[in-house]
């Protein structure tokens, strides 16, 4: 199980990256990967 701190850390990372002016295709792909991982953690905890 992931801690709330880990999920918050992923969320904050995503927010910082989305605000960056250096967004490009590779960075968007990376962000979506982090987003999916974060959602997976939250869903995993809801089912336990």
pLDDT one-digit tens code per residue, 13-35: 877 877 777 777 888 888 888 88
Task: Name the one residue in this structure whose structure tokens are 């927010």.
Answer: 15
Residue with more model confidence, 7 or 47:
7
pTM of the model: 0.48
pLDDT at 37 over 70: yes
Burial of 41 (0-12, 13-18, 19+ CB in 10 A): middle
For residue 48, the model assigns a pLDDT of 58
Spatial distance between the Cα atoms of 38 and 4, rounded to a whole number of angstroms: 10
Average pLDDT of the chain to the nearest whole number: 78
Calculate the CA 9 to chain-centre distance. Answer: 8
Domain residues for 15? Answer: 4-46
How many structural domains compose the chain? 1
Q: Is the pLDDT of residue 47 over 70?
A: no
């Amino acid at each position: 199980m992931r801690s709330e701190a880990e999920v918050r850390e992923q969320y904050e990372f995503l927010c910082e990256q989305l605000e960056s002016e250096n967004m490009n295709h590779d960075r968007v792909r990376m962000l979506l990967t982090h987003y999916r991982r974060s959602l997976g953690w939250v869903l995993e905890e809801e089912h336990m």
